[in-house]
Amino acid sequence: MKFSQSNMLQAMSDTGMIPVFNHADIEVAKGVLDASYKAGIRVFEFTNRATNSLEVFRELCTYASRYPDMVMGIGTIFTAKDADAFIDAGADFIVSPALIPELAVFCNSKEVFWIPGCATMSEIFQAKKLGATLVKAFPGNVVGSAFVAAAKSVYPELHIMPTGGVEPTKENLKEWFDAGVHCVGMGSQLFKKDWIKNQQFDLLENKIADTLQLIKNL
């Protein structure tokens, strides 16, 4: 693998935020990746939510080679078969919305960094047993920051990343980071539909840069 797990965890911590994005048009995806990188993003998560996501992701990873320090991950992965295909396409890490033992075993066998989705203490316990070092608190708007704080009190060494319901505002980000998150994942709150539709990547770049600055200040 291009990056070690510790390198990827450090990159996530350094910026504090991972954009979570999907689009069926490779040119739009390239524009979003460019804007993200220019704004300071070094870890990017594409999601497997369209019928052509594998093809788009493969081309996006090839395109991302111009940014040698950009870590490329794939989200919304439920099976070992899909994980294998996306790793072959260039994924540096795998994210799942759920805790799936089969996926954990497969990624561990390939020595690929995997991030399971967890919404209960039992799931976090099982994730740790399966070797997880970072879990995705998902859906973030359902479990909330109080869940993160409670989980960190029991497992202080565990890294947690909420996704879903994280907003690019000082108040919301402060709530999550005060709870002890390692970083946050942000999708629809960051990628305004009009900006994407009209390919206003300069507005997106400014928004991401402002959000990263908010996190840095926190």
**What does the pLDDT look like over 141-181, one tens digit per residue?**
999 999 999 999 999 999 999 999 899 999 999 999 999 99
- Whether residue 139 has pLDDT greater than 80: yes
Q: List the beta strands (DSSP E) in 67-192.
A: 71-75, 93-95, 113-115, 117-118, 134-137, 159-162, 184-186
pLDDT at 14: 97
**Amino acid code (one letter) for 60:** L
Separation of CA 81 from chain center: 20
Reading phi first (left if > 0) and then psi (alpha if -120 to 50, else beta), residue 16 is in: left
What is the number of residues in the chain?
218
- C-alpha to C-alpha distance for 17 and 98, rounded to whole angstroms: 20
pLDDT tens digits for range 38-96: 999 999 999 999 999 999 999 999 999 999 999 999 999 999 999 999 999 999 999 99
The answer to whether residue 188 scores a pLDDT higher than 80 is: yes
47-65: buried (b, 16+ CB within 10 Å) or exposed (e) per residue?
bbeeeebbebbbbbbebbe
The pTM (predicted TM-score) of the whole model is 0.97
| Whether the predicted pLDDT of 32 surpasses 80 | yes
Read off the pLDDT band of 1 (50, 70, 90).
confident
Q: What percent of the chain has pLDDT over 70?
A: 100
Mean of all residue pLDDT scores within the chain: 97
pLDDT at residue 214 in the model: 97
pLDDT at 185 over 80: yes
Helix (H) or strand (E) holding 107: helix 101-109
The predicted structure's pLDDT at residue 23: 97
